[in-house]
Chains A and B, each alone.
Chain A
Amino acid sequence: QSVLTQPPSISAAPGQKVTISCSGSSSNIGNNFVSWYHQLPGTAPKLLIYDDNKRPSGIPDRFSGSKSGTSATLGITGLQTGDEADYYCGTWDGSLSAGVFGGGTKLTVL
């Protein structure tokens, strides 16, 4: 059971927009920055969003992050088949004094 809750799977057609939610509590999302990653099979995760809504260099603006209270959201517009991957949210948990991840969301681009 992950500390952060994500939907297990989501699907959409190419070109559409999707959002992936990440729900936590005041000890984690509510008081700490959230990061988002995607992971292709057999590879290391890749950072998409940090500090709730900032994109590292090289990440297209099709990817966006937002946060409200104890929930965060990753948005992806203009879906491409190459976006098919597992997506994870992560943040610091002050009660645990440890980093925590969501359980992951498998995105299928139909």
Chain B
Amino acid sequence: EVQLVQSGSEVKKPGESLKISCKGSGHTFSSDWIAWVRQMPGKGLEWMGVIYLGDSDTRYSPSFQGQVIISADKSISTAYLQWTSLKASDSAMYFCARPGYSGYIAFDIWGQGTMVTVSS
């Protein structure tokens, strides 16, 4: 079964750093793009950015450029989402997803989500 498995929930303090992961299995993801999508509590979906696992070519939404770092390790079919200094407003569910069809927005496979809570 082709799937994306994300790392577990995190509870952090403001100012701390964090790196969450999204690992693909059941498929050779080295030639796939993986995107990150944020969902704040009770709110809608926000496209954050996308990375090509083959060469780590990365595109960011202007809303998230400079706020997060998206990276990947193709040898282990894993994408990462990283913060260097968390804020309370980063508290949200974060999903990774594969755009399996045209463009970077038709996501056919989703991770289960990683809940990030930032609180002092």
Q: Which of B85-114 contact A (CB under 8 A)?
A: 95, 97, 101-108, 110-113
Identify which of B45, B61, B97, B102 contacts A98 (C-beta below 8 A). B61
Q: Is A24 interfacial (CB-CB < 8 Å)?
A: no
Majority DSSP secondary structure for residues of A touching B: strand
* Complex contact B106–A51 (CB within 8 A): yes
Does B102 lie within 8 Å of A33, measured CB to CB? yes
Q: Which of B47, B62, B108, B111 contacts A90 (CB 8 A)?
A: B47
The number of chain B residues touching the other chain, given as a range, is 20 to 34
**Which of B44, B97, B105, B107 lies in contact with A103, CB distance below 8 A?**
B44
Q: What is the bound-complex CA distance between A104 and B44, given in angstroms? A: 6
Residue B60 lies at the interface, judged by CB distance under 8 Å to chain A:
yes
Interface contacts (Cβ under 8 Å), in number, total: 79
Map CB proximity to B onto A13-39 as digits: 1 under 8 Å, 0 otherwise: 000000000000000000011010101
Contacts of B111 in A (CB 8 A): 44
Q: In this complex, what residue of A is CB-closest to B64?
A: A98
| The one of B50, B60, B62, B110 that contacts A46, using a Cβ cutoff of 8 Å | B110
Q: How far does the Cβ of A89 sit from chain B's closest Cβ, in whole Å?
A: 10
Residue of B whose beta carbon sits closest to that of A104: B44
Given contacts A45-B95, A98-B47, A102-B44, contact A35 B62 (CB under 8 A): no
Taking CB atoms, residues of chain A closer than 8 Å to B102 are: 33, 50-51
In the assembled complex, A47 has its CB within 8 A of some CB on chain B: yes
Which residues on B sit within 8 Å (CB–CB) of A44?
Answer: 95, 97, 110-113
In chain B, what residue has the closest Cβ to A28?
A: B105
For chain A, residues 64 to 110, give those with C-beta under 8 angstroms from any C-beta of chain B: 86, 88, 90-92, 96-104
- Inter-chain contact B106/A47, CB cutoff 8 Å: yes
Cα(A92)–Cα(B110), bound, Å: 18
* B59 contact set on A, CB distance < 8 A: 97-98
B44 touches A45 (CB 8 A): no
Shortest 3 CB-CB distances between A and B: which pairs? A99-B47, A44-B110, A98-B61
